[in-house]
Amino acid sequence: MKRRDFLMTAGAALSASAMSRAVAADSHHAEHTAPRRQGYTPVRTLNGWTLPWQMNGGVKEFHLVAEEIEHEFAPGSRAKCWGYNGTTPGPTLEAVEGDRVRILVTNRLPEPTTIHWHGLLLPAGMDGVAGVTQPLIMPGETFAYEFTLRQHGTHMYHPHADEMVQMAMGMMGLFIIHPKDGEPEPVDRDYALLLHNWALHPGTSRPDPSVMTDFDLWTMNSKVFPAIEPLVARTGERVRVRIGNLSMWNHPIHMHGVQFQVTGSDGGRWPAAQWRNEVTEIVGVGQMRDIEFIAVPGDWAFHCHMAHHTMNAMGHEIPNTLGVDQSGIEAEIRTLLPGYMAMGQHGMKEHQQHTDSGHMRGPDNTLAMMMGKGPFGNIGMGGMFTLVKVRDDLAPGDYRDPGWYAHPSGTVARRVSADANYGAPVRRGTPLSDNAASLPVPDRHAHH
DSSP code string of 334-384: HHHSTT-----TT-THHHHHHHHHTS---STT---S---EETTEE----SS
C-beta neighbour count of 21 within 10 angstroms? 11
CA angle (189, 192, 198) in 5-degree steps: 150
With a cut of 70, say whether residue 64 has pLDDT above it.
yes
Max avg pLDDT among 114-128, 207-221, 343-357? 114-128
For the cut 80, the answer to whether the pLDDT of residue 422 exceeds it is: yes
Q: Given pLDDT bands bounded at 50, 70 and 90, which one contains residue 257?
A: very high
Using one digit for the tens of pLDDT, what is the confidence trace for 227-252?
999 999 999 999 999 999 999 889 99
pLDDT above 90: percentage of residues in the chain: 60
Strands (E), 221-356: 231-234, 238-245, 251-255, 260-265, 268-269, 276-278, 280-283, 288-294, 298-304
Averaged pLDDT, 18-43: 50
Residues 243, 253: contact at Cβ < 8 Å? yes
Q: What is the pLDDT of residue 435?
A: 61
* Confidence at residue 218, expressed as pLDDT on a 0 to 100 scale: 87
pLDDT > 70: percent of the chain: 78
Predicted structure pTM score: 0.81
Alpha carbon distance 198, 73 (integer Å): 10
**Domains contained in the chain, CATH given:** 3-304 (2.60.40.420)
User: How does residue 340 score in pLDDT terms, banded at 50, 70 and 90?
Assistant: low
